[in-house]
Structure 1
């Protein structure tokens, strides 16, 4: 095929296997990625000083690529803080409480609301916005706290985060690693996200109802939950009419954003910038109106909280993203022109070489991507490994000859459903804490429905490749 594989290619593959091994053992991969960057740099340049510098340069490159995503998430979290502190979130959600009259309605209403709110605010802030208000309502109509946590988990950290259609943080990471446009990955992910979401949530609801009927799962008359809900009084910063105004105004602005995305054909960075700018506008307006003379200082305080959250989430992602950017165009920016002149990038070269010796089928490709995605999710981030999923999807697509976007989306979905907050216990803590349930029990409850969903979604993906 005319592809020259060098030591750089084999080191890249070796480091990928080591990363997967560390993830299986639930160990951190930061050190492995840094060592991998150094080994590739010193093999390419033969210079220790240049190789050491390349580690720092790769971090700069990764941060530069991820910065819009980190910024928009930080700003949205900051905005959610001001919505919570003023009680506007209570007013936004309270009309839906009237529809919750049975356990089934509680499960589906809380789940769908969580999904919609998570598309705009991200799941972790959405849990705080939604859980404190609707948990007591769900308990009153007979849905156990574990059922509430499952609904928030599966619809928020599962469906909303794995698709991430509005903020587009996840598809940007996977699309960059796969060398594809963000819009292409999002389009390919829509049917897969839909299948995964429908199958998993219905299966979870079926098992939940079965255990409630058999008496294995009962509604806890949890006084601690009730006390926490009653004590969670919001500061009296806005009048009732002001809260009602902002409760309508905030979702209206985001709906206008969505309309603008369709009308102006905005995606990727442009869509992210629109959402981020709107969130800043909302943050400033509500904070200045509610805190009046202290508004300037409170705006900064909310932004600080938001940025602390954003960087805390993405710091583990930066080293692994830095390594995987070496597999594509990032190599030339970080290290320089040290690949053979015939090279199309490390990952593309490996894909072409693999295609010439191993006739991979779309079935094997789909199963492998789900497996890799699930393994990368074991670290509990959901995000730190999706660059690997995108990179391997690109490699397999070259071998199969089609399906790059579908394979990328499939790996992204598997990684985020496992690690983003539905199966890994230490990633379940926000929902478990707000519902006062054991995160390990919540993970155990989610295991079978999510596994069923992944199997069905993988089969569907085989037909779409």
Structure 2
């Protein structure tokens, strides 16, 4: 039995303050840092330790994000190298035949993102697809921020919430729901997944068409069209063919060997580094490339850190909500604050079909706010199993419903620090991407809740 204490109420109040500040379109670094200190003081009762906890939280958050920082840096470095030799223009030329306008680009980019994300993790898929296709989408009229929205919704939303191919998400949910196989979760999530995806995509598309506030910066690097000074050279053409081929081979290896998470990300990142080096040598020569590669790496990491610096600090506060990271930050005896709040709420509400849907929605939302969709799945499955023993209700459907909500919120759509990969590739602010995602995802969640009321 979980009882809420001062630390839980303080955390809720700070989250409300942060949400209000976000809605006012102001930065939230200051309240996040103060919030970490306040929670640290409540937990330890010592001012000195509370100050140390601020630093520990930022370090833990940095460790959680370093993999994506490095990946973005290497891909950015590769992109710069490809641009310098003109291979990027050669690569995207065939895609222009399909991505002829804003509407076509929206759906071609989105469908491609979904298909690739089903076979590899969305983060490497964002990098792979974004580096090659986002420039084409932008040139066809899709504003960079909406290109990032497409990558998030179709990758971290549509693909990740179902996870039909790799089946990591349904396996976690099924195991904690005391189910022998994830196949039941997969089957029962289809109606929820379909409604959530269709409503969210449709809403996002309508909002994009109506959005007149986002202007495409013609001089920005992402929309810049360079003259190919190496038109007569065979090198750029070979690199242009080898680059997508290399990533396709990566996808094959990832699928065949069952590489997921960090393993698939590492393969994509290593491939990007090799392509950068080869492109640099082709552009100059081996001796000159020694300095060129250093230049690309420096610019790549400068870009990566500039994107992630505020996200690391904001994430530091919200990682207090997850048990694993809360223990690393606060020390032994700490628990996931958001997890505690969810369990407490579930234990205090009388159970019926409608209250189960309400509790699962609320808990899934709270778990998603921690910025990690998968971290909340064990509790989602556990609650579904608990509900099914208390009242007559289909626990596979309840678990599938919770899985969809948790991953859509926490997997990388409306939490600013979970959309940084897409924001980085599209060279836009993560806050702005999360804001653009908020209304479509909210509409999708409302429609999914209605679907749950109908079929449960």
Which interval holds the TM-score relative to the shorter structure?
0.5 to 0.7
Q: Distance in 2 between the 1:64 and 1:230 partners?
A: 32
CA contact (8 A) 2:72 2:424 kept: no
From 383, 398, 411, the counterpart of 2:409? 411
CA contact (8 A) 1:366 1:462 kept: no
CA contact (8 A) 1:124 1:430 kept: no
1:387 lines up with 2:371 in the alignment: yes
The alpha carbon displacement at 1:459 in A equals 4.9
Q: Distance in 2 between the 1:315 and 1:284 partners?
A: 27
Query: In the superposition, relative to structure 1, how do residues 306 and 97 fare at CA in structure 2: closer, same or farther (>3 Å)?
Result: same
| Partner of residue 330, structure 1 | 325
Q: Distance in 2 between the 1:300 and 1:265 partners?
A: 33
| Partner of residue 20, structure 1 | 19
The alpha carbon displacement at 1:309 in A equals 2.1
Q: Distance in 2 between the 1:336 and 1:120 partners?
A: 30
For 1:158-213, what per-residue CA distance to the aligned partner results, in whole angstroms no more than 9, with x for missing partners? 32354686xx9xxxxx99xx9x99xx9xx98x96777655555567778999x9xx
Deviates more, 1:4-13 or 1:93-102: 93-102
Give runs of aligned pairs for residues 56-205 of structure 1, distance below 5 A: 56-99=55-98, 108-109=107-108, 112=111, 130=133, 145=141, 152=147, 155-160=150-155, 162=157, 198-199=198-199
From 289, 300, 313, the counterpart of 1:295? 289
CA contact (8 A) 2:76 2:300 kept: yes
Structure 1 length normalisation: TM-score? 0.67
| Partner of residue 270, structure 2 | 277
Q: Root-mean-square deviation (CA), in Å?
A: 5.1
Give runs of aligned pairs for residues 221-370 of structure 1, distance below 5 A: 232-234=225-227, 236-237=229-230, 239-292=232-285, 293-327=287-321, 328-339=323-334, 345-359=336-350, 361=355, 363-365=357-359, 368=362
Q: Distance in 1 between the 2:260 and 2:59 partners?
A: 24
Paired residue secondary structure (1:316): helix
Query: In the superposition, relative to structure 1, how do residues 36 and 206 fare at CA in structure 2: closer, same or farther (>3 Å)?
Result: closer
For 1:226-283, what per-residue CA distance to the aligned partner results, in whole angstroms no more than 9, with x for missing partners? 9x99983346357542222222211121112112222222111111111111111111
Paired residue secondary structure (2:284): helix
Q: Distance in 2 between the 1:229 and 1:315 partners?
A: 22
Structure 1 portions without partners, runs of 5+: 139-144, 169-173, 212-216, 377-384, 433-438
Q: Distance in 2 between the 1:257 and 1:45 partners?
A: 47
Q: Distance in 1 between the 2:65 and 2:347 partners?
A: 34
The alpha carbon displacement at 1:462 in A equals 7.2
For 1:357-409, what per-residue CA distance to the aligned partner results, in whole angstroms no more than 9, with x for missing partners? 02474533575579879xx9xxxxxxxx6628778887777656563543321
For 1:387-434, what per-residue CA distance to the aligned partner results, in whole angstroms no more than 9, with x for missing partners? 287788877776565635433212136x62696999xxxx899699xx
Query: In the superposition, relative to structure 1, how do residues 150 and 49 fare at CA in structure 2: closer, same or farther (>3 Å)?
Result: closer
Query: In the superposition, relative to structure 1, how do residues 51 and 208 fare at CA in structure 2: closer, same or farther (>3 Å)?
Result: closer
The alpha carbon displacement at 1:326 in A equals 2.4
1:41 lines up with 2:40 in the alignment: yes
Query: In the superposition, relative to structure 1, how do residues 229 and 321 fare at CA in structure 2: closer, same or farther (>3 Å)?
Result: closer
Structure 2 length normalisation: TM-score? 0.68
For 1:303-361, what per-residue CA distance to the aligned partner results, in whole angstroms no more than 9, with x for missing partners? 2222122222222221232223223122332232245xxxx543433333222102474
Structure 2 portions without partners, runs of 5+: 164-168, 177-181, 387-397
Deviates more, 1:64-73 or 1:390-399: 390-399
Q: Distance in 1 between the 2:206 and 2:25 partners?
A: 31
The alpha carbon displacement at 1:63 in A equals 0.8
Q: Distance in 2 between the 1:49 and 1:389 partners?
A: 33
CA contact (8 A) 1:111 1:154 kept: no
Q: Distance in 1 between the 2:317 and 2:77 partners?
A: 30
| Partner of residue 166, structure 2 | none
Deviates more, 1:54-63 or 1:19-28: 19-28
For 1:127-151, what per-residue CA distance to the aligned partner results, in whole angstroms no more than 9, with x for missing partners? 7855665777x5xxxxxx36x7798
Equivalent pairs, count: 405
Query: In the superposition, relative to structure 1, how do residues 112 and 265 fare at CA in structure 2: closer, same or farther (>3 Å)?
Result: closer
CA contact (8 A) 2:199 2:444 kept: yes
CA contact (8 A) 2:315 2:417 kept: no
CA contact (8 A) 1:78 1:303 kept: yes
